[in-house]
Amino acid sequence: MDQMTLELTQALVSRRSITPDDAGCQTLIADRLKAIGFAIHHLPVGDVSNVLAIHGQSGPTLLFVGHTDVVPPGVESDWQSPPFTPSIRDGRLYGRGTADMKGSIAAFITACERIAPNQASLPFRIAILLTSDEEGPARDGIAQIAPQLTSYLSSVDYCLVGEPSSRNQLGDTIRVGRRGSLTATVTVAGKGGHVAYPEQVDNPAHRLSQFLGELADTTWDTGTDAFPPTSFQVTHLETDTHTSNMVPGSAIAQFNLRYSPALTHTDIIQRIETIAHRHIGDDQLSLIWHLSAKPFSSEPGALRTAITQAIQATCGIEVEANTAGGTSDGRFIAPLGAEVVELGPVNASIHQIDESIDIAELDQLSELYEATLHRLARLVRAPNQ
């Protein structure tokens, strides 16, 4: 293989694109794609950069989704080499964003460059959508652009998200959905006072802990074929006093649920509010909800088949399809009716000091994306293969 994917990854990693700063990554990518016939639409929202590149006029659309932003590097002196100076050691490329997910973007672009001479013969359009707001609030990125896509594309049929899905080896895992994420902040008011005078106080910490205890003991659902059961976790707990002889006047907790499509967020909120009222009076309770992601899942379709076959041919392994991990931008594309599958490199080092990617894996990923496009082309032409 040539050095194209490695060189493009290095060029992207050397741009310090901490959310929401794109630091010129998308212009560099747009120039490469323009050269092979893509039409480029820069779609900034506030200080977030978004770019949509489209090749081909008609047919169904395969949309590649990715992000050019990275998480902050942490303490830069803790890195063996500076996080934004890509450096090669022992067959690996080190730098922030190598695995999450500048390597995947480079791999998809070099795959497109190799396909370019024959792209007109593909039975689908290729579109690429990148944002610089995935690792941050994810508010002005794909969330904003997804609803506008139909004014550029007649439909979005297949969506390949380049997030690092692999566990131990490239291609061992793909994601075919993600759980939803619902957070609540609960405040319980009571009557504080001296611990030695229990008749004069109403301890809100007791009510809150009974409430949280019941939530922790609740079985929310049993999951689905594709999803594990919904999980509940307390993430924060405090009172307004920090001394051993005072009963607090109020108590606060935060909790989060990762939930499957077996439930909706309104089901969960209703059930939790019913439980809350068993322990806490209406005038003593405040519950503030934040829905950060709805769950999504994609039924097996042509894209999953194409990827599974491409992994068998390129990596020689069987793939596991699951819905693990945090949230992803796939959640904004799934409602458009697209089959969403996530395939990217090994995720062992993402968001960590000394993030890195195997250089051979970078080339293999590019081959894998290319093989996926070819196999999808066959399936689109003859769906029953």
**Catalytic (active-site) positions:** 69, 134
- Mapped onto helix, strand or coil, the DSSP state of residue 340 is strand
Q: Is 342 in the site for Zn ion (CB under 5 A)?
A: no
CA 113, CA 187: separation in Å to the nearest integer? 55
Segment interacting with Zn ion (CB under 5 A) among 24-32, 99-107, 214-222, 367-375: 99-107
358 marked among binding-site residues: no
**Six-digit token string for 100:** 């999450």
Question: 41 forms bridges with which residues in the sheet?
Answer: 52
Nearer CB in complex with Zn ion: 140/163: 163
Segment interacting with Zn ion (CB under 5 A) among 38-46, 93-101, 252-260, 295-303: 93-101
370 marked among binding-site residues: no
Q: Is 69 in the site for Zn ion (CB under 5 A)?
A: no
Q: How far is the CB of 99 from Zn ion (least distance, A)?
A: 9
Q: How far is the CB of 134 from Zn ion (least distance, A)?
A: 6
Nearest-CB residue to Zn ion? Answer: 100
Q: How far is the CB of 177 from Zn ion (least distance, A)?
A: 16
Segment interacting with Zn ion (CB under 5 A) among 70-78, 158-166, 206-214, 372-380: 158-166
163 marked among binding-site residues: yes
Helix 25-35 × helix 4-13 angle, to 10°:
150
Nearer CB in complex with Zn ion: 56/344: 344
100 marked among binding-site residues: yes
Q: How far is the CB of 344 from Zn ion (least distance, A)?
A: 8
Count of chain residues binding Zn ion (CB under 5 A): 3
Nearest to 226 by CA among 306, 301, 312, 324: 324
Q: How far is the CB of 277 from Zn ion (least distance, A)?
A: 40
Q: Given the structure tokens 């499509």, which residue do they identify?
A: 261
CA 302, CA 68: separation in Å to the nearest integer? 27
Nearer CB in complex with Zn ion: 101/293: 101
Nearer CB in complex with Zn ion: 100/355: 100
Judging by beta carbons within 10 Å of its beta carbon (0-12, 13-18, 19+), is residue 17 exposed, middle or buried? Answer: buried
Q: How far is the CB of 163 from Zn ion (least distance, A)?
A: 5
Alpha-carbon separation of residue 377 from 118, 121, 158 (angstroms): 12, 9, 12
Nearer CB in complex with Zn ion: 192/330: 330
Segment interacting with Zn ion (CB under 5 A) among 36-44, 163-171, 231-239, 308-316: 163-171
299 marked among binding-site residues: no
What are the start-end ranges of the E strands in the chain? 39-42, 50-55, 61-67, 87-89, 92-94, 125-131, 158-161, 173-175, 177-178, 180-189, 193-194, 231-239, 246-247, 250-259, 285-293, 296-297, 320-322, 339-342, 356-358
Nearer CB in complex with Zn ion: 104/297: 104
Q: How far is the CB of 79 from Zn ion (least distance, A)?
A: 19
Among 22, 100, 339, 363, binds Zn ion (CB under 5 A): 100
Segment interacting with Zn ion (CB under 5 A) among 81-89, 92-100, 209-217, 262-270: 92-100
Q: Is 101 in the site for Zn ion (CB under 5 A)?
A: yes
CA 96, CA 23: separation in Å to the nearest integer? 14
Query: Which amino acid type is present at position 75?
Result: V
Number of DSSP helices (H) and strands (E) in the chain, helices first: 9, 19
Burial 165-174 (b: 16+ CB within 10 A, else e): bbeeebbbbb
Give the contacts of 223 (CB within 8 A, at least 6 positions apart): 229, 230, 260, 262
Instruction: Compute how many other C-beta atoms are within 10 angstroms of the C-beta atom of residue 352.
Output: 14
Half-sphere exposure (CA, 13 Å, Cβ side) for 219?
A: 4
Nearer CB in complex with Zn ion: 189/324: 324
Binding positions: 67, 100, 135, 163, 351
Contacting positions for Zn ion (CB under 5 A): 100-101, 163
Binding positions for Zn(2+): 67, 100, 135, 163, 351
